[in-house]
Amino acid sequence: MIEVQKIAGAIGAEISGVDLSRELAAETVAAIRRALLDHLVVFFRDQELTPAQYLAFARRFGEPVEYPFVRGLDGFPMITPVVKLEHETVNFGGVWHADTTYLPEPPMATMLYAREVPPYGGDTLFANMYLAYETLSPGMKRVLEGLVGVSDSAKADGSRTREDRIRDRGTAGADRRLTALHPAVRTHPETGRKALYVNAAHTVRFTDMTEEESAPLLEFLFRHQIRPEFTCRFRWRRGSLAFWDNRAAQHNAVNDYHGFRRVMERITLRGDKPR
């Protein structure tokens, strides 16, 4: 019997009463998936997982896929190390974003597991993109209808945060540039709700517009979608696991723990083409 407890008004819930290292009953998997759809990000505490157990848990919810720029763990290519070392000043993922929207089919969800955390700092913020869309004016919704965003893996806001990891674990194609076109507002394939689907890390412009022409609208949307009342903040402990819906949530890893090591492991699950 699991318990689901909201941690903020807009997004996020902590799930207790489950050991993710064990084989989960179908009813438990269904309850976790329902909580994910309801709260967009769910958190688990005090989990002791080997890479094989972590991967087995992820496979109950979808198909793990490799990250295109950083090699996975030895023997587990679907598990991407997300690391900041003591001497580094830039962190991986330290900008508001949805994961890899520069792919034609971005991940449907992401899991992040904490192996080693700093004594303070290193929290992750999450934001609800349903609310970001639903609180726009009718006029702005009409403006966004039919607009298509261009996501680019080379946008500085996103690419800078992965430079250290590419340097030490880059894939053979880490220098390639990936772009994809996605609607500015997507419809969630499971809930049917509309979500704002542009992000500061990867969206560079709208199709049929220049970057300069797109900038005023994008800058407004980037500010609007992370209003405090749309967000939650999660403080990590060793053994914590976060599982978020990449189709309707954004996240930002706070970079406030210079001089300390933070070691996480990420799994992304195959998604569909946003519509």
- Identify the CATH number of the domain in which residue 49 sits: 3.60.130.10
pTM higher than the cut 0.85: yes
Q: What is the dihedral of CA 178, 181, 182, 184, to 10 degrees?
A: 110
Residue 121: inside a domain: yes
Write down the pLDDT at residue 161: 76
Q: 236 is in which domain, residue-wise?
A: 3-269
Segment 69-89 shows an average pLDDT of: 95
Residue 275: inside a domain: no
Write down the pLDDT at residue 124: 98
Encode pLDDT of 186-234 as tens digits.
999 999 999 999 999 999 999 999 999 999 999 999 999 999 999 999 9
* Bridge partners, residue 179, by sequence: 152
Residue 196: inside a domain: yes
Output 166 or 114, whichever has higher pLDDT. 114
Separation between Cα atoms, residue 165 and residue 157, nearest integer Å = 15
Residue 226: inside a domain: yes
Domain count, the chain: 1
Residue 73: inside a domain: yes
Residue 103: inside a domain: yes
Write down the pLDDT at residue 165: 76
Residue 211: inside a domain: yes
| pLDDT > 70 in the chain, percent | 100
Residue 139: inside a domain: yes
Active site residues: 97, 99, 251, 266
Q: Is the pLDDT of residue 39 over 80?
A: yes
Write down the pLDDT at residue 130: 98
DSSP E strand stretches across 20-164:
41-44, 64-65, 80-84, 109-116, 124-128, 148-152
Encode pLDDT of 136-179 as tens digits.
999 999 999 999 999 999 997 777 777 777 777 888 777 889 99
